[in-house]
């Protein structure tokens, strides 16, 4: 299903053939992000991601960068998370070489010009303000602020205004030299490709990449001995909240049971919390539960937007379902439904070449065993009812509970919320 190779310079390549696919996706994924930063440069990983699109010697301007793929109807973008930074291009398969030339040029030959850095500061500050003005996004960041506080895992990926304004070309180049390495970079290519010829193509386009040592990240420190609440006062027409618990990292074998639990709780429109919070009580439009896992942290969280006068009731309903999972075994029917949901949703999501490239690149850059979708499903299928109850008993405890809230509330409301955070 895939072929993994290593170039002469140490760059890893994962080629994923998809017979009859009309598109090809090239993804360059680097193992660095905001968790690799120090306080004074928090946000620089994200800012640097922007700067790769500002010009190379071959394509000296943003216009020249963007029109290369625009002229062939290609799609392209980049992203930064706490542990990865990625750059991708998706094109008609007949333009595979155009995509390879474009992304390798941008990735290896970016100029990081001082005037472009100064110009981009306003753009990134605008992006930050957009997130701060969007409660559905911001409340998730507040939840991680609550969990990890003043350490890299608790800082915003995008950074703060004061940091953004302080960036210079020297800082950009220094971060690039100390965090971008052949050793922490993976190239994934997925589509109707000739796998046998791909190593040669990759040597042509990426073989000149110079290797350099990449700095490691600091380990996350976690400590909590009681429920915690973070309130953000904002005049809103509805209240947004995240209620969740600390859980497991991406290498913990219990993560599969955790994933199934999240589906049962709030993974779809027939999940327990969707029925309870929305359908039976009509408290709000959306409610969902998800799992976040990184190399050294993890959590399960339920997010919802509800009527301003219904926050306590909604929090109580979520806690009821957490408690129920902890105290009672789920039914065989419910377990089967959750497994079938994951199997089906994974099949649908991996139809696209960009999804396939991301699926394999993320595993490889994180140092995980490279599994096919079928092998991942087998691990999910092994989870038992008892496994889920054991995980629920482990994570659903008072001292693991965290609640972040955005809404028209004063600080006095915090004590009322702390009183009901009992499971």
Separation of first and last alpha carbons in the chain: 45
Q: DSSP class of residue 239?
A: E
Name 257's Cβ contacts closer than 8 Å, sequence gap at least 6.
383, 387, 388, 390, 391
Check if the beta carbon of residue 300 is closer than 8 Å to that of residue 395: yes
Q: Where do runs of H (alpha helix) occur along 274-352?
A: 311-327, 332-349
Cα separation values, 158 from 56, 102, 141, 294, Å:
24, 26, 11, 18
Token reading at 65: 């960068």
| Among candidate residues 224, 161, 178, 182, the one with its CA nearest the CA of residue 398 | 224
Greatest pairwise CA separation for the chain in angstroms: 65
Strand (E) or helix (H) holding 63? helix 62-70
Active site residue 334: no
Instruction: Please answer whether residues 373 and 359 qualify as being in contact, where contact means their C-beta atoms are separated by less than 8 angstroms.
Output: yes
Query: What's the burial of 331, exposed, middle or buried (CB within 10 Å: 0-12/13-18/19+)?
Result: exposed
Strands (DSSP E) contained in 171-233 are 185-191, 228-233
Among 297, 304, 302, 322, smallest CA distance to 395 is for 322
User: What share of residues in the chain are helix, strand, coil (percent, to 5)?
Assistant: 50, 20, 30
Q: Where are the alpha helices (DSSP H) in 267-329?
A: 272-273, 311-327
Catalytic position from the list 49, 120, 144, 364: 49
DSSP strand pairing (401-407 vs 228-233): parallel
Q: Under the phi-then-psi rule, with left for phi > 0, alpha for psi from -120 to 50, and beta for the rest, what region is 112?
A: left
SS3 of residue 230 by DSSP: strand
Q: Which residues are designated catalytic?
A: 49
């Amino acid at each position: 299903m895939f072929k993994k190779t290593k170039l002469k310079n140490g760059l890893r390549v994962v080629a994923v053939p998809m017979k009859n696919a009309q598109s090809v996706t090239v993804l360059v994924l680097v193992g660095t992000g905001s968790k690799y930063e120090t306080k004074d440069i928090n946000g620089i990983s994200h800012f640097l991601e922007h700067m790769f699109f500002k010009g190379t010697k071959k394509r000296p301007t943003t216009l020249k960068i963007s029109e290369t793929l625009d002229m062939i109807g290609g799609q392209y973008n980049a992203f930064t998370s706490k542990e990865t930074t990625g750059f991708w291009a998706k094109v008609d398969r007949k333009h595979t070489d155009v995509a390879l030339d474009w992304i390798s040029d941008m990735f290896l030959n970016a100029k990081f010009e001082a005037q472009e850095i100064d110009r981009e500061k306003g753009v990134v500050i605008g992006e930050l303000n957009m997130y701060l003005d969007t409660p559905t996004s911001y409340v998730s960041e507040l939840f991680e602020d609550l969990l990890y506080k003043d350490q890299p895992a608790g800082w915003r990926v995008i950074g703060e205004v004061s940091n953004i304004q302080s960036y210079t070309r020297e800082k950009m180049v220094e971060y690039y030299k100390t965090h971008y390495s052949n050793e922490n970079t993976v190239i994934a290519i997925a589509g109707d490709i000739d796998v046998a010829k791909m190593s040669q193509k990759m040597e042509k386009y990426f073989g000149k990449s110079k290797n350099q040592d990449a700095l490691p990240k600091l380990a996350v420190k976690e400590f909590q001995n009681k429920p915690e609440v973070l309130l953000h006062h904002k005049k809103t027409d509805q209240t947004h909240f995240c209620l969740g618990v600390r859980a497991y990292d991406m290498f913990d074998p219990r993560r599969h049971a955790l994933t199934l639990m999240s589906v049962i709780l709030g993974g779809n429109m027939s999940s327990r919390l969707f029925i309870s919070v929305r359908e039976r009580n009509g408290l709000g439009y959306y409610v969902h539960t998800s799992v976040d896992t990184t190399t050294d942290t993890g959590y399960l969280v339920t997010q919802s937007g509800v009527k301003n006068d219904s926050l306590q009731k909604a929090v109580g309903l979520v806690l009821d379902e957490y408690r129920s999972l902890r105290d009672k075994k789920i039914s065989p029917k419910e377990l089967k439904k959750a497994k079938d949901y994951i199997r089906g949703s994974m099949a649908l999501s991996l139809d696209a070449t960009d999804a396939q490239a991301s699926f394999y690149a993320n595993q490889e850059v994180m140092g995980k065993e490279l599994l096919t979708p079928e092998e991942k499903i087998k691990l999910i299928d092994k989870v038992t009812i008892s496994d889920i109850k054991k995980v629920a008993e482990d994570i659903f405890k008072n001292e693991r509970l965290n609640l972040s809230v955005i809404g028209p509330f004063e600080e006095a409301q915090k004590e009322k919320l702390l009183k009901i955070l009992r499971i």
